[in-house]
Amino acid sequence: MKILRSYSEAASTITGTSFSCPLTAGVIGLAYSIPCTDFMSTVISNPQAGADMVLQALMDGTDAKPALANKFVTGGRLNSRNTLDELMTVGCNGNICLPPSSVSVGSILDNSASVSFTAASGAVSTTFYWREVGTSTWTVVASATSPIDLTSLTGCADYELYFETDCGGGDISGPTSTQTFSTTGCGACIDLPYCTGSASDGIDEWISDFSIDAYTNTSGNDKKIIRFNASGSDGTGGTQVNNKFVAGEDKKKLFSKLKLYEVEIHNSIYESLKKIDTPDEVIMEFVQLYSFDIDFQRDIRKGNKIKIFFEIYTDSQNNYIKSGNINFSEIILDDESYELYRFQSEGDEFVEYFNSDGKSATKALMKTPINGARLSSGFGMRKHPILGYNKKHQGVDFAAPTGTPIMAAGTGHIEFVGNNGGAGKYIRIKHLNGYKTSYSHLSKYASGIQKNIKVRQGQVIGYVGNTGLSTGPHLHYEVIFNGKRINPMKMKLPSGKQLKDKNLEIFLAEKERIDAEVSELYSMN
């Protein structure tokens, strides 16, 4: 008796919605079977419009229940008879208000696109809504006619749009399905009106095609910079013939200089190196070199020192043009130091950095494929910031400003690039030995990044953004090993290669030469 009473008491207080799904599905099935020719014609010609009509009939047919107000979507209880009556009233009156059809987007460029549609029969007017993905305000175009030319768009950005029909007398159709499109311009031609094409070798990018007035030039993949002028007085050889520009190659001579900097760390590596005018490119490469062995948030202390020996290029007036290679670097911590030397082994495709014993600094994967970012969320269980329930966080998040470069954590091939639901703009790379890495919520992809291409470790593949299911600009980074996601911050990576035999002998000779150059510069200071 006690068990029965307990069961009865429990059963009397149980509530739930488990039966709502089959019940709703049954009512929807009945709705689609109503004997209305107009409604069935709508379902066949415009399935989305038919589904919208059924949904509206479900909502309008609900028995209102004050106790359910603001607690459930309907605010009441489903009533199949009311739903069918509502749908037959609207669907059988011979005058169904339909949204436009055949919506398409074409002629997409860096800053413009053209939207076409077919207005619904009997439409008084058509209203068009559009906005950049991630923004809160829709731009409304009343009494729209096809085609609609969108101008002043942002290059390499995502946009969304939909339509409604006004059939008069307050009768407004349901909206069309929201469509999205992306503008071009993800590369060297962003905001350059004369640029018609860009090129990339996976490391650098440059303008490959450009047009000025009636003159069009294709430079190919030689990375040459072409300047134009009307008189040729700048020394490039550029001239104007019959109101057309003729190109001359800029052969400005560059001068190489070696720089040796030594600095004590105060607040951060970046700040300390910037105070002595170290180029940003050199700082980024320096941080990348040590990202395998040093946790910059935990290992670096005030008073630690940096040595860096690198190359720069200037013009004849000693104006800085660009940075060159880092030949030697060292981080001196409290109880140990890390020396690295630049060296390319015979038969290797890429240059690497090795310690004094000839062991590569490079590991299979980088733990942090982004510089200057804050670890904002770790690996493991957490309350999802948007969904609101506890869910395992399968990667780590790095908070950083929109546009911060993201690097490939290891050498491999692009397995996927594109929009991926809640991950937004997304890249996945397949590496050797069962490893994959993924990068989510990007604002845009780096020039030339596409499926199946090979990327090298440290190569910029995209930029931090806030696309997909995201509360702010950040990188969500995942490491997958044999199909299972693992914690990037705790993974044990195989050591880099050890130089041997002839390569080791050549390296030690190169190391000795670099050490001599460093000593000479020290003596001059």
How many residues belong to the chain?
A: 525
Residue given tokens 């607690």 in the structure block? 71
**Contact predicate 314/254, CB 8 Å:** yes
pLDDT digits (tens, 9 = 90+) for 244-292: 444 444 445 788 888 888 888 887 787 888 888 888 888 878 877 777 6
Residue given tokens 């014609």 in the structure block? 41
pLDDT digits (tens, 9 = 90+) for 364-375: 677 778 876 677
pLDDT of residue 445: 92
Please tell me the distance from the alpha carbon of residue 444 to that of residue 465, in angstroms, as a whole number: 7
Q: Domain spanning 374-486 has what CATH number?
A: 2.70.70.10
pLDDT of residue 440: 92
Please write down the long-range contacts of 22-27, taking CB distance under 8 Å and 24 or more positions apart: 23/78, 24/58, 24/78, 26/80, 27/58, 27/78, 27/80, 27/83
Give kind and range of the element (H or E) at residue 430: strand 425-430
pLDDT of residue 196: 61
Give kind and range of the element (H or E) at residue 199: strand 195-200
Please tell me the distance from the alpha carbon of residue 237 to that of residue 235, in angstroms, as a whole number: 6
Backbone angles phi, psi at 16, to 5 degrees: 175, 180
Give average pLDDT by consecutive 10-residue segment, the chain, 525 residues. Answer: 36 54 83 76 72 76 68 69 75 69 84 88 87 83 90 82 84 78 67 58 55 56 42 38 43 78 82 84 81 68 87 86 88 85 79 86 76 69 48 77 87 89 89 85 90 86 87 87 80 71 90 90 77
Superfamily of domain 101-182, CATH level 4: Immunoglobulins (2.60.40.10)
CA–CA distances in Å: residue 46 to residues 40, 42, 123, 184, 379:
10, 5, 15, 30, 45
Give kind and range of the element (H or E) at residue 54: helix 47-60
**Contact predicate 474/215, CB 8 Å:** no
**Contact predicate 422/441, CB 8 Å:** no
* Beta pairing class for 320-332 and 337-343: antiparallel
Q: How many CB atoms lie within 10 A of CB 22?
A: 9
What's 252-363+499-525's CATH class? alpha beta
pLDDT of residue 512: 92
Q: What share of the chain is helix, strand, coil (3-state, %, to 5)?
A: 20, 35, 45
pLDDT of residue 39: 75
Domain spans of the chain, in order of start: 18-91, 101-182, 195-249, 252-363+499-525, 374-486
Identical fold, 252-363+499-525 and 374-486: no
Side chain identity, residue 273: L
pLDDT of residue 189: 57
